[in-house]
A and B are shown apart, each in its own frame.
Chain A
Amino acid sequence: MNPAVVRLLEELELTPLLAADAATPLEELQIDSLRTLELVACFETEFGVEVPDELLVALVDAGDLLRFLDVRSDSATS
């Protein structure tokens, strides 16, 4: 995982995501609409990327979100 993503998750108090089983629904991790909104806005600001709406709609579980953050952050910094 990109260290900058880990730092961002720590800042937003979302580190339980890192330890969760990939199939854990985001709701069980208390990642609700408001948390999603904050995470996406901070992620876009940090990495200078724009996240298409349709990618967010498809996120269901911890694995989806972690893969999404990893891939998008790598594409932003490479």
Chain B
Amino acid sequence: MGAAAVGNAAGSIVVPDLVSRRCELRPVQLSDIELIAGWETGGENLVRWRLHGSTPSPDGVRSEIWNGVLAQFVVVSRRSGSPAGLVSLYNPSFVHGHAYVGALQSPDFGRSALTLEGLMLLVDHAFRCWTFRKLYAEVLSFNLAQFASGIGRVFTVEGTKREHFFYDGAYWDEHLLALTRGTWEGDGLTRLRAVLGMASARQGIVRAA
């Protein structure tokens, strides 16, 4: 049994504060539904995100938004106080030690990468709170360019569904990306976690058994 299961001698724990350099996470509330529905159907998100062109009713959004979700947060800019996106941890398998992550950025926050920073906070939170070995993300090929520089450094492409998804006259691949606990906590990402102010860097890491 490892340190994560034992805790320290005093029996105290370090609670991650879900705050990084530029953003913080707060749990999704019912009052956020209208905001999230607007993000899902606004600008490029209408086709880039999970709805793929459809526009569900507000009740539909409300009933779907927590399907399979283990943890879900609104990403809030610490500089402006504005909500910038949504990050989700879903479809966990505690038997096999994995789960999926996803992110939705407000069209207003474009190149700020604020939601990506929020997604990293979620990853940090997920590895701290549960014994996941790795986290997956399903990404359509026309979305991969947004963070392709992370391939091999932060995550790996573990598989591809060829010509899986139709849009605009063509069939597009869908990739399965994987980020392992070892990579997240390893030396290669130490600087990134530190400059982003991840709790695992500021408060230390407790490795899973």
Interface residues of A (CB under 8 A from B): 26-27, 30-38, 40-42, 44-45, 50, 52-54, 56-60
Contact = CB atoms under 8 A, between A and B. Distances in A.
B141 to A, nearest CB: 14
Per CB-CB distance, the 8 closest pairs between chain A and chain B, nearest first, are A41-B195, A37-B113, A34-B147, A56-B112, A33-B113, A57-B110, A36-B113, A34-B150
Given A32-B146, A37-B116, A38-B195, 18 more contacts: A26-B111, A31-B149, A32-B145, A32-B147, A33-B113, A34-B147, A34-B150, A35-B149, A36-B113, A37-B117, A38-B192, A41-B196, A52-B79, A52-B80, A53-B77, A53-B82, A56-B111, A59-B111
A32 B150 CA distance: 9
Contacts of B80: 52-54
Contact of A53 (B79, B146, B196): B79
A34 B154 contact: yes
Contact of B79 (A31, A35, A50): A50
Interface of B: 21-22, 77, 79-80, 82, 84, 108-114, 116-117, 145-150, 154, 192, 195-196
B209 to A, nearest CB: 30
Nearest to B82: A53
Contact of A57 (B109, B146, B149, B150): B109
A33 B147 contact: yes
Contacts of A52: 79-80
A53 B110 CA distance: 10
A1 to B, nearest CB: 21
A56 B79 contact: no
18 contacts: A32-B145, A33-B113, A34-B146, A38-B192, A41-B21, A41-B22, A42-B195, A44-B21, A52-B79, A53-B79, A53-B82, A53-B109, A57-B109, A57-B111, A57-B112, A58-B111, A59-B111, A60-B111
Nearest to B144: A32
Contacts of A44: 21, 195
Greatest chain B CB density within 10 A among A32, A44, A59 is at: A32
Contacts of B22: 40-41, 53
Given A27-B145, A53-B80, A36 B196 contact: no
A78 to B, nearest CB: 22
Contacts of B108: 57
A27 B110 CA distance: 13
Nearest to A40: B113
Given A44-B21, A53-B77, A34 B113 contact: yes
Nearest to A35: B149
